[in-house]
Amino acid sequence: MSTSTDAPVVASTAYEPVIGLEVHVQLLTASKIFCSCSTRFGAPPNTNVCPVCLGMPGALPVLNRQAVEFATLAAMALNCRINQTSIFARKNYFYPDLPKGYQISQYDKPLAEHGYIEVPKSKTDDQNQEPRTENRTGLRTKKIGITRVHLEEDAGKSLHEGFPDADEKTAIDLNRTGVPLIEIVSEPEIATPDEAYEYLTRLKEIILYTGVSDCNMEEGSLRCDANVSVRPRGQKELGTKAEIKNVNSFRFIREALVYEIARQVEVIEAGGKIVQETRLYNSSEGKTYSMRSKEQAHDYRYFPEPDLLPLVVDEKWKAEIMKTMPELPEARRARLVMDYGITEYDAQVLTASKSLADQFEAAAKAAKNPKRVANLVQGELMGRLKARGAEIEQSPISMKGVAASADLVESGAISGKMLKDLYDLCFERNKDFPEVYEEEGRPQQSSDTSALEKIIDEVVAANPKQLEQYRAGKKTMIGFFVGQVMKVSKGQANPQLVNELLIKKLE
Ligand SMILES: [Zn+2]
């Protein structure tokens, strides 16, 4: 679920922003895209290099089959059409981290086109007349188009710190040169910073489910640039755009967009003109700064890469790749809602990662009441993990443990209060539920009828007003009495038994 930023909204509603996103994702192949060098992150600088990725004269690139399959799988998951033939092209520019003087990319014939990502409909554009659809779980969504997905090689990295004379010199690490990338370009159809945030969240989730990348933003496996312009509301023609580069979290991208939209409106309203340029976001100041004027496509002098054949992904190969497609988050959510009777919100939380969803399903299948398993994960497990700052993977209570505890509550063997106490002990002792349950000597909740009846008498005597209401026909008051009895018994009573005894007493 999205949370809105506290940042000021665009002052003037006379303007509407238009946002497009370019996302680079490193593929998890063992070797680089055009040579057999390792892609391992964190190796000593300039150790994973060879004449091909260093761009030595005469060295010839050989395309990595796995990179093509990963890129195709990702593009299919993003609902793209795969082009049977795509062409590698040289994108020419000079930069210290690019020893060849050109990057092998794809230009007018990319691997895939015409995809989309569905994002939840944002509250802020209710007034817009854009077409909306409903997804399989009935959530109102908007489709954001994906123009293209293409394959390319990564460049090296400039190092500005971490070595003795770093204040005077910049060092170059070429280990990253030639690591396979896909670039995912959206249509300029994103209407708000919140929508951009949602798009990126969904994109990352889908890519993670396919397993073709770890999408680790700190290590640069997922990087995002945003194009943003504003125009008078209702105008067809696009305004001049600025590109915001090198923002390293989705939250910062949302903040950078909020700032940049307000800046552009201010410039225009003051009678100024927006220049096409690349801007950097300073997250500690919350502002964007001009870096350089933006290159136009023709500045790169793209031409077909003469050392590589056209890439052909025929129907047979496509079908083989399609066979490796896992169930994607959207479909999985819909199925969880259907199969386990849980809410859309529960399904969202439980499908946040593929591994969590897998664990949940295994546990829910084994439990008597899957809905209770979902409730316990959300109500009892997630909160405790959050308080500890831990991920579900570090939970002392496994999904099997959650299922076991759910069954005990279901059968009335333990109360909700006892379950909470046992969960606390699991976190204290860093042990799974069944182990702690045994250690605590399988605590029994009070099913001693005569003791309970005594408590009930006390509670009823102490609350004559509520008793009157109940007898006057307000049957829901039973809940009040159950709660009081549970309180007096310090949560040790069996609620089902309390309920039965109370009804007998009150009638
Ligand atoms: Zn190499």
3-state secondary structure of 81: strand
Tell whether the torsion through CA atoms of 367, 368, 374 and 380 is positive or negative. negative
Q: What is the number of H-type helices and E-type strands within the chain?
A: 16, 17
Q: Strand, helix or coil at 186?
A: strand
Q: What pLDDT does residue 212 have?
A: 96
The reported pLDDT for the residue numbered 22 is: 96
> 47-79: per-residue pLDDT in tens?
999 999 998 988 999 999 999 999 999 999 999
pLDDT digits (tens, 9 = 90+) for 139-182: 678 999 999 999 999 999 988 887 788 788 889 999 999 999 99
Could you tell me if 77 and 208 are in contact, meaning their C-beta atoms sit under 8 angstroms apart?
no
Please give the C-alpha separations between residue 257 and each of 17, 185, 197, 276, 500, in angstroms, as whole numbers: 9, 17, 10, 16, 59
Question: What separation in Å is there between the alpha carbon of 36 and the centre of ligand 1?
Answer: 6
Pairwise CA distance, residues 9 & 17, whole Å:
11
Q: What is the mean pLDDT of residues 280-301?
A: 80
Scored b (16 or more CB within 10 A) or e, 74-96 reads: bbbbbbbebbeebbbbbbeeeee
Residue 92 has pLDDT above 70, yes or no: yes
Q: Quote the tokens at residue 48.
A: 């994973």
What pLDDT, on a 0 to 100 scale, did the predictor assign at position 116?
Answer: 97
CA angle 50, 51, 57 (to 5 degrees): 170
Measured distance CA(222)–CA(24) in Å, rounded? 6
- Separation of CA 35 and ligand 1 centre (Å): 5
Q: What is the whole-number distance in angstroms between the Cα of residue 181 and the centre of ligand 1?
A: 15
Q: Residue 104: which H helix or E strand, with range?
A: strand 102-106
Centroid of ligand 1 to alpha carbon of 91 (angstroms):
19
Distance of CA 53 from the midpoint of ligand 1 (Å): 4
CA–centroid distance, residue 39 to ligand 1 (Å) = 9
Asked if the model's pLDDT at residue 136 lies above 60, the reply is no
3-state secondary structure of 246: strand
When pLDDT is cut at 50, 70 and 90, the band that residue 118 belongs to is very high
Amino acid in the structure at residue 78: L
Q: For the residues 372-376, what does the mean pLDDT come to?
A: 86
Distance CA 467, CA 452 (A): 18
Greater pLDDT, 362 or 147: 147
CA angle 118, 190, 211 (to 5 degrees): 45
For residue 245, the CA-to-ligand 1 centroid distance in Å is: 27
Q: How far is the CA of 168 from the centre of ligand 1 (A)?
A: 29
Give the Å distance between the CA of 302 and the centre of ligand 1: 23
Measured in angstroms, how far is the CA atom of residue 47 from the centroid of ligand 1?
10
Question: What integer pLDDT is reported at residue 5 of this predicted model?
Answer: 44
- Give the position of tokens 């690490």: 173
Measured in Å, residue 61 CA sits from the centre of ligand 1 at 9
Please tell me the distance between residue 103's alpha carbon and the centre of ligand 1 in angstroms. Answer: 14
What single-letter DSSP state applies at residue 274?
P
55 alpha carbon to ligand 1 midpoint, in Å?
Answer: 9
Contact 47, 69 (CB under 8 A): no
**pTM as predicted:** 0.75
For every residue of 105-152, DSSP letters joined together read EE-SS-SEEEEEEEEEPPGGGTTS----EE-TTS-EEEEEEEEEEEEE
Name the phi and psi angles at 22, rounded to 5: -120, 120
For the cut 70, the answer to whether the pLDDT of residue 347 exceeds it is yes
Give the separation between CA 470 and CA 460, rounded to whole angstroms: 11
Rounded to the nearest angstrom, the distance between the alpha carbon of 106 and the centre of ligand 1 is 20
Bridge pairing between strands 140-153 and 180-186: antiparallel
Q: Can you tell me the distance from the alpha carbon of 228 to that of 16, in angstroms, rounded to the nearest whole number?
A: 11
- Taking only the tens place, the pLDDT of each residue in 468-494 is 888 888 888 888 888 888 777 766 777
